[in-house]
Amino acid sequence: MPQPPAPRKTPGRPPRISRDEIIGAAFRILDEEGVDRLTMRRLATEIGSTPMALYHHVRNKDELLVLLLDDYATRTLRRPELPARPRERVIVAAEAIHEVLAACPWIVTVLTADDLLSKPALWFVEQIVDGFVDCGLPLDQAVHGYRAVWYYTAGEITVRAAAARRRAEADRPIHRESVFADLDPDEVPRLAQVADRWEALTAQDTYSDGLRALVDGLAAR
């Protein structure tokens, strides 16, 4: 004879939805309809509930996005083969994080809201800190080194995402153009020199180059 599915022991009204269900539905919406369609109302109807019911499982929309990122990272982050040289280890670990984050631009609004110290990322943070220690840095400085790498990485992602968003809304008169339009070659000669190539130059992906420079500089202390 079939039992009642799970004889609950906790008091109170039994939940009809769960945090996992919310995250799953949110991810579906994100995937199929884009980040703009991911609203609390849309999400509620997706799981057959009401907007405010969500707030019993998630503090607010930002936390939901953080949880989504956690979930995504857990499924996506694969621990790479780490090179033996500590400096390379730092770089590979940072690049792995960067790669995952760069692939999901929707987290940008939350990227800074929590500094990516989610559990799946901890191993990578460990590798970075440990790599710096193996480079000869004292532990405290190694942590600061990780912070510097994180600042650089988070900045790259957010700035690049903003640039992409700006390109997408091509109708607006691009701010940069107007600034670059009348550069005074006496005042800012270098900028005037590259003005026409600025767009192309800044479109290049130089994350790894900058990262290596940063790590080199940090390890050389």
Binding site for its own copies (CB under 8 A): 59, 66, 108, 112-115, 117-119, 122-123, 125-126, 129-130, 133, 139-140, 142-145, 147-148, 150-156, 158-159, 161-163, 166, 172, 175-176, 179-180, 183, 187-191, 193-194, 197-198, 201-202, 204, 206, 209-210, 212-218, 220-221
- Measured CA to CA, the distance from residue 42 to residue 155 in angstroms comes to 31
Residue 49 contact partner, candidates DNA, its own copies, none, CB within 5 to 8 A by sort of partner:
DNA
The CA radius of gyration of the chain, in Å to the nearest whole number, is: 23
Q: Which residues are CB-neighbours of 119 under 8 A, at least 6 positions away?
A: 70, 74
135-194 residues in contact with DNA (CB under 7 A) are none
Residue 29 contact partner, candidates DNA, its own copies, none, CB within 5 to 8 A by sort of partner:
none
Q: Residue 89, by phi and psi: left (phi above 0), alpha (psi -120 to 50) or beta?
A: alpha
9-68 residues in contact with DNA (CB under 7 A) are 9-17, 37-42, 49-53, 55-57, 60-62
C-beta neighbour count of 136 within 10 angstroms: 12
C-beta neighbour count of 192 within 10 angstroms: 15
Burial of 158 (C-beta count, 10 Å sphere; 0-12/13-18/19+): middle
Q: 63 near 54, Cβ under 8 Å?
A: no
Residue 164 contact partner, candidates its own copies, DNA, none, CB within 5 to 8 A by sort of partner:
none
Residue 203 contact partner, candidates its own copies, DNA, none, CB within 5 to 8 A by sort of partner:
none
Q: 77 near 126, Cβ under 8 Å?
A: no
Tell the residue number behind the tokens 């945090």, with chain if given: 19
Residue 33 contact partner, candidates DNA, its own copies, none, CB within 5 to 8 A by sort of partner:
none
Minimum distance of its own copies from residue 195's CB (angstroms): 11
Q: Based on CB atoms, which residue is closest to its own copies, 103 or 188? A: 188
Q: Which residues are CB-neighbours of 190 under 8 A, at least 6 positions away?
A: none
Q: Based on CB atoms, which residue is closest to DNA, 7 or 173? A: 7
| Token pair recorded at residue 58 | 């998630």
Q: Based on CB atoms, which residue is closest to its own copies, 95 or 130? A: 130
57-96 residues in contact with DNA (CB under 7 A) are 57, 60-62
- Measured CA to CA, the distance from residue 27 to residue 107 in angstroms comes to 12
Minimum distance of its own copies from residue 9's CB (angstroms): 24
Q: Based on CB atoms, which residue is closest to DNA, 171 or 184? A: 171
Q: Summarize as ranges the residues that interact with DNA (CB under 7 A).
A: 7-17, 37-42, 49-53, 55-57, 60-62
